[in-house]
């Protein structure tokens, strides 16, 4: 069984002799020896099917250095090993802000996450109202015709802009149109202002489409909130809110609103999104449609999608609701849990596991003065680098003193152009069935070593398939 057929949660053993109605868990111990100079860990997990697993995770951090003669940024391993994230990290260390990097202790990712935490920079530093930025990941092998991109995503960023309520005179002139068409035509009372000039804009979900409508009990507008939109008296979760509705795909952004909020709060203008998909329609019409409860476009960005945001939240599955829990009873993940939940990148930034050699290209996502970037023929600032060819793997020894080779999968790439930092995370797992007793983490970079490892793994799989055939 692969971990794609299970989900995990850290589980302690149940005290012997105590019957809680739940199965007893006792994950076998596994000795772990990290023979690499990098941060690594081994932890045990149990899935919703009571299957236990040993999980391995390792991280290598790089400094993104100056360009070589061909215009490719150099990568240098950090002098001090990059630390594994034991918890989610937020921008500015503010828990209410969007997530910068998630914990590295996810048990399994079915795809590779490519995360870019960047600021959009106008290439010539001359203020502009809008700018296209791009992330592209290409296969390691070039050729004719050029292979398709693994990831190719373009966003549009702009300066500050607003949804502005039209003047009373203009709105009054709309009435003849509405009455004359028996309500078939409803002129929009809102308009979108022109974007202000900018030289840089953080590409963060706080500036993408989303947000919340909230009115607190001490707000004068609280008296104007319709009864059907009130959430009742103050609660521990919402001690001050009288009415609260958030965008489920991005509660941190701009541009989300509801008619009840506009009317109660008496808003004459609201901030509009500054980050969106290239050529995504964002105008007063879409704003007004959203205010009436219409479906909004998904927020656009290059960073981590919040754990509680849709559509990621839906991947958790149906959670068991239980009023009383025993002190040592362990909640399981839902039976219909989707492992894609552990992937935190936007869906169009998830791909098959990367193998090394892939070529990254970031356009207008770093300072034009960066020594790691060059100008292209169009005058855009381009940061390019290629992932190093390397392998991280585990050597496991079982009770019969037989050796198993298990390569870890490169499943997380985090690029931080502002700090000239690249982090790569590998992950893998073994069934914790008591057969494996010790493990050793290894790292190789030489071409002949990589070829030998590939040969060993192929031979190992061939033997396993042969054993399966005999069993049949």
Q: What is the pLDDT of residues 143-199, one digit of tens each?
A: 667 789 999 999 999 999 999 998 655 545 555 545 555 454 567 889 999 999 999
Per the model's pLDDT, the better-predicted residue between 142 and 46 turns out to be: 46
* pLDDT of 126 above 60: yes
**What's the pLDDT at 19?**
38
pLDDT digits (tens, 9 = 90+) for 295-349: 888 999 999 999 999 999 999 999 888 778 777 777 788 999 999 999 999 999 9
Q: Which contiguous run of DSSP H or E holds residue 175?
A: helix 168-180
| Residue 14: per-residue pLDDT | 31
pTM confidence score = 0.89
Instruction: Quote the pLDDT of residue 179.
Output: 54
Q: Which range has the top average pLDDT, 124-128, 142-146, 280-284?
A: 124-128
């Amino acid at each position: 069984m692969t971990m794609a057929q299970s989900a995990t949660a850290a589980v302690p053993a149940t005290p012997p002799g105590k019957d809680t109605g739940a199965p007893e868990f006792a994950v076998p111990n596994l000795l772990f020896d990290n023979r690499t100079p990098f941060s690594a860990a081994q932890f045990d997990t149990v899935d919703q099917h009571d299957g236990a697993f040993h999980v391995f995770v390792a991280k290598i951090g790089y400094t993104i250095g100056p360009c070589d003669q061909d215009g490719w940024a150099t990568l240098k391993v950090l002098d001090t090993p990059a630390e594994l994230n034991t918890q989610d990290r937020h921008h500015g260390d503010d828990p209410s802000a969007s997530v910068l990097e998630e914990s590295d202790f996810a048990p399994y990712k079915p795809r590779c996450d490519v995360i870019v935490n960047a600021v959009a920079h106008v290439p010539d530093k001359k203020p502009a109202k809008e700018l296209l930025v791009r992330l592209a990941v290409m296969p390691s092998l070039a050729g004719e015709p050029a292979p398709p991109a693994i990831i190719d995503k373009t966003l549009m960023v702009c300066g500050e802009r607003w949804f502005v309520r039209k003047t009373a005179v203009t709105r009054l002139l709309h009435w003849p149109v509405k009455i004359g068409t028996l309500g078939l035509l409803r002129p929009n009372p809102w308009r979108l202002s022109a974007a202000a000039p900018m030289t840089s804009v953080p590409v963060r979900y706080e500036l993408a489409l989303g947000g919340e409508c909230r009115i607190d009990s001490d707000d004068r507008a609280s008296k104007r909130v319709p009864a059907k939109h009130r959430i009742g008296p103050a609660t521990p979760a919402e001690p001050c809110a009288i009415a609260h509705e958030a965008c489920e795909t991005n509660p941190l952004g701009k541009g989300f609103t509801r008619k009840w909020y506009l009317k109660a709060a008496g808003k004459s203008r609201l901030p509009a999104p500054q980050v969106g998909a290239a050529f995504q329609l964002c105008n007063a019409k879409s704003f007004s449609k959203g205010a009436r409860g219409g479906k909004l476009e998904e927020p656009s960005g290059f960073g981590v999608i919040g754990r509680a945001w849709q559509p990621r939240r839906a991947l958790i599955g149906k959670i068991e609701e239980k009023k009383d829990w025993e002190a040592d009873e362990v909640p399981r993940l839902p039976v219909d849990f989707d492992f894609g939940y552990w992937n935190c990148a936007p869906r169009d930034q998830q791909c098959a596991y990367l193998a090394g050699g892939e070529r990254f290209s970031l356009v207008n996502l770093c300072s034009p003065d960066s020594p790691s970037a060059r100008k292209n023929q169009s005058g855009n600032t381009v940061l390019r680098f290629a992932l190093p060819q390397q392998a991280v793997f585990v050597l496991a020894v079982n009770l019969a003193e037989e050796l198993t080779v298990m390569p870890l999968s490169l499943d997380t790439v985090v690029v931080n152009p502002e700090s000239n930092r690249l982090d790569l995370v590998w992950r893998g797992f073994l069934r914790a069935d008591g057969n494996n007793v010790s493990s050793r983490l290894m790292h190789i970079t030489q071409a002949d070593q990589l070829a030998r490892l590939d040969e060993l793994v192929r031979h190992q799989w061939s033997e396993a398939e042969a054993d399966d055939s005999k069993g049949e």
